[in-house]
Amino acid sequence: MILGFMERNLSSSLLGTLLLLSLAWFLHLVRKLLPPSNFPRNIPTVPIYVSFLGLFTNMDQKEIFENYLRDHLEMYGAVKIYFASRWNILVTKPELLVEIFRDEETFAKSGNQIKIPYSVLSEYTGDNLISAHGSTWKLYRQILTTVIQFPDLNPVVGNSRKFVRSIAHAAQSGSSMLVTDVIQKFALSNIGDSMLGIDFRLFENDHSVLNEKLKFVKSHIFKPMYLNFPFLDKFPIPSRIEARQAVRSFRKYYSGLIRSLPENVSNVAGSLTKALNDGVFTEQQFTDNAMIVMIAGHENPQLLLTSLIYVLSLYQDIQQKLRDELTSVDYDEQVLDQLPYLNSIIYETLRMFPPLGQIINRITTKPVKLGDFVIPKGVYVGYNNFATGRDRTVWEDADSFSPDRWGIEIAQVNRSYSKAKGSARLPAFHGRKRACLGEKFALHEMKQVLNQLLKSFRVIPDPEWENKLTPGGPVSPWKLKVKFEAL
Ligand code: HEM
């Protein structure tokens, strides 16, 4: 009898404990639905379900932005938003961005290696020049600044020709073409030839190991589900185990390639290898930085070129006007920098389709006043290039693609561009100390390839292609297909 009494007592206290635990778990989940209570109250909250829309609906980034973010951002300049398994503050008003970019100590870089170290994404990119902070960042800059800013530009012309030649086949058949692969080949070849001093032979070999491995890795990395909820990478989900293995295999293969290159050459590969051999970089730092040069160096130009081809196909009059400008001058590489319309089109595309649409990789190191907001310590603060570039309170006629807004003469066009960057109305390449080191190279690539492309082909929209941007992550037309008509 006593035993029965004890058993009953035990099972009821076990039940009670279970109930309490479930309640605590439930409350924890409910708390997660809302931003932490110390977040500024005068910033509107984007409901958490908005973070799921790219996963479970057919909406693209633009539709989500229009319906759930735009009005708030234009009115307040910031929102509280759930992304990458946490609540963040996303800032878009230029005057606030200037403050953030200026104060690198308070808004300290804190990349995926710190924010979500367990994720497949973090294993892919590691601790690198873009995400590092303080003395580590300074060390990386010491080794890499010059070789990234002053690469060998010559191979880009040759790769532009190869790009155009590889389009010719689709153009002859009259069928539409998915542009992803050929643009990836172009952008990767440029990084290989110009910065690393290695010819990946991507145009010659359709099944290059590098290209195939990278395509596979990217198909896993940019899944909106895991970008939004990276904590899922903690669980033994078979497709994520496969993704992690693919990342490891890619890193091993790629870093082996870079290590096999000579050390005493003045380029990114040479500098990295020297830093490794001199004991300045660890193996991990060597691979992480080799990876980021390859990733940032090809991924962002790839996205921008996709968007450029998209806008040129959409606006035939702009395409023809650009072709007229390109054919009106005797071609030499420097001349392209002097063409106002060519440069304006690229700047306008950066405004409306910034490749890195949203970046949340800064954490406040102390409580800080940003405009009217008081942000506590330890909060992730990000910026949204897509929203700033389309802010109707910042840009007149923000929704229309109008290259002429940048000016008519080249000096005026470049002045408008510099001003827009300096005032953070165009943060597509960020600004100040942590501004992009590859900007000039990327712009050079765009000018060279557009010059070759438009002199050979007319780019026509494919009516069957569903006009959509990516559902989340980097900004670009989603799986863009166009037709190329030989001239
Ligand atoms: C259209 C092309 C490109 C765009 C739109 C772009 C955009 C950006 C942006 C927005 C940042 C700041 C990131 C942040 O806030 O964390 C950045 C940083 C950086 N980018 Fe680019 N990028 C492009 C091309 C390139 C290329 C070709 C390279 C060459 C390797 C490159 C190398 C870097 C590096 C090294 C940094 C970090 C600078 C630092 O923090 O010291 N980028 N880029």
Say whether pLDDT at 40 is over 80. yes
More confident site: 74 or 171: 74
Determine the atom of ligand 1 nearest the C-alpha atom of 354: 5
Give which of 191, 269, 224, 195 is closest to 121, Cα–Cα: 224
Confidence of residue 6 (pLDDT cuts 50, 70, 90): low
Give ∠ CA 410-358-86 in degrees, rounded to 5. Answer: 165
Task: List, in sequence order, every residue forming a beta bridge with 83; answer none if it has no partner.
Answer: 86
- Per-residue model confidence (pLDDT) at position 84: 84
- Per-residue model confidence (pLDDT) at position 205: 86
Whole-angstrom Cα distance, residue 306 to residue 450? 11
Say whether pLDDT at 93 is over 70. yes
Using one digit for the tens of pLDDT, what is the confidence trace for 336-388? 999 999 999 999 999 999 999 999 999 999 999 999 999 999 999 999 999 99
- Per-residue model confidence (pLDDT) at position 224: 78
Q: In what order do the strands lie in the sheet with 380-384?
A: 78-83, 86-91, 380-384, 358-364, 107-109
Which amino acid is it at 80?
K
Instruction: Give percent of the chain with pLDDT exceeding 70.
Output: 94
Helices (H) and strands (E) in the chain, counts: 20, 10
Bridging pattern class, strands 481-486 and 457-461: antiparallel
| Region 417-442 average pLDDT | 96
Using one digit for the tens of pLDDT, what is the confidence trace for 320-329? 999 999 999 8
Task: List, in sequence order, every residue forming a beta bridge with 90; answer none if it has no partner.
Answer: 79, 382
Confidence of residue 12 (pLDDT cuts 50, 70, 90): low
| Region 171-195 average pLDDT | 93
| Region 196-207 average pLDDT | 91
Residues 67/45, Cβ–Cβ less than 8 Å: no
Residue 4: inside a domain: no
**Three-state SS for 479?**
coil
Whole-angstrom Cα distance, residue 455 to residue 463? 23
Q: Would you say the CB of residue 91 lies under 6 angstroms from ligand 1?
A: no
Phi, psi of 380 (to 5 degrees): -75, 125
Q: Out of 31-40, 178-187, 402-411, 416-425, pick the least confident.
A: 31-40
Determine the residue of 113, 130, 150 to mutate for testing ligand 1's pocket, defined as the one with the most ligand atoms within 8 A of the Cβ atom.
130
**Structure token digits, residue 447:** 């000018």
Determine the atom of ligand 1 nearest the C-alpha atom of 445: 27
- Per-residue model confidence (pLDDT) at position 33: 81
Whole-angstrom Cα distance, residue 320 to residue 396? 25
Residue 15: inside a domain: no
Confidence of residue 25 (pLDDT cuts 50, 70, 90): low
Whole-angstrom Cα distance, residue 158 to residue 160? 5
Residue 167: inside a domain: yes
The protein residue whose alpha carbon is closest to atom 24 in ligand 1 is 438
Residues 81/358, Cβ–Cβ less than 8 Å: no
Residue 48: inside a domain: yes
Confidence of residue 29 (pLDDT cuts 50, 70, 90): low
- Per-residue model confidence (pLDDT) at position 4: 58
Using one digit for the tens of pLDDT, what is the confidence trace for 135-168? 999 999 999 999 999 999 999 999 999 999 999 8
| Region 51-75 average pLDDT | 93
- Per-residue model confidence (pLDDT) at position 329: 84
Which residue range is the domain that position 396 belongs to? 38-486
Whole-angstrom Cα distance, residue 155 to residue 166? 17
- Per-residue model confidence (pLDDT) at position 187: 97
**Burial of 219 (C-beta count, 10 Å sphere; 0-12/13-18/19+):** exposed
Say whether pLDDT at 216 is over 60. yes
Residue 13: inside a domain: no
Determine the residue of 148, 267, 436 to mutate for testing ligand 1's pocket, defined as the one with the most ligand atoms within 8 A of the Cβ atom.
436
- Per-residue model confidence (pLDDT) at position 330: 78
**Three-state SS for 257?**
helix
- Per-residue model confidence (pLDDT) at position 10: 54
Determine the atom of ligand 1 nearest the C-alpha atom of 145: 35
Chain length of the chain: 487
Bridging pattern class, strands 380-384 and 86-91: parallel
Task: List, in sequence order, every residue forming a beta bridge with 81; answer none if it has no partner.
Answer: 88
Whole-angstrom Cα distance, residue 302 to residue 287? 22
Q: Would you say the CB of residue 304 lies under 6 angstroms from ligand 1?
A: yes
Distances (CA, A) of 304 to 111, 190, 373, 444: 23, 14, 33, 12
Q: Would you say the CB of residue 210 lies under 6 angstroms from ligand 1?
A: no
- Per-residue model confidence (pLDDT) at position 26: 62
Using one digit for the tens of pLDDT, what is the confidence trace for 169-180? 878 888 899 999
**Structure token digits, residue 383:** 């910026």
**Ramachandran assignment for 309, one of left (phi > 0), alpha (psi -120 to 50 degrees), beta (any other):** alpha
* Mean pLDDT for the chain overall: 92
| Region 43-56 average pLDDT | 90
Determine the atom of ligand 1 nearest the C-alpha atom of 446: 1
Say whether pLDDT at 283 is over 90. yes
More confident site: 198 or 22: 198
- Per-residue model confidence (pLDDT) at position 8: 60
- Per-residue model confidence (pLDDT) at position 170: 76
Give which of 400, 392, 409 is closest to 343, Cα–Cα: 409
Whole-angstrom Cα distance, residue 227 to residue 52? 11
- Per-residue model confidence (pLDDT) at position 169: 80
**Three-state SS for 192?**
helix
Say whether pLDDT at 459 is over 60. yes
- Per-residue model confidence (pLDDT) at position 262: 83
**Structure token digits, residue 253:** 């293969």
Residue 22: inside a domain: no
- 483 Cα to the center of ligand 1, angstroms: 30
Q: Would you say the CB of residue 429 lies under 6 angstroms from ligand 1?
A: yes
Q: Give me the CATH number covering residue 319.
A: 1.10.630.10
Residue 27: inside a domain: no
- Per-residue model confidence (pLDDT) at position 208: 87
Instruction: Give percent of the chain with pLDDT exceeding 90.
Output: 79
- Angle between helical axes of 209-221 and 180-190 (0-180°, round to 10): 110
- Per-residue model confidence (pLDDT) at position 15: 75
- 295 Cα to the center of ligand 1, angstroms: 10
Residues 413/342, Cβ–Cβ less than 8 Å: no
| Region 221-237 average pLDDT | 87
> Domain count of the chain?
1
**Structure token digits, residue 61:** 């980034």
Residue 6: inside a domain: no
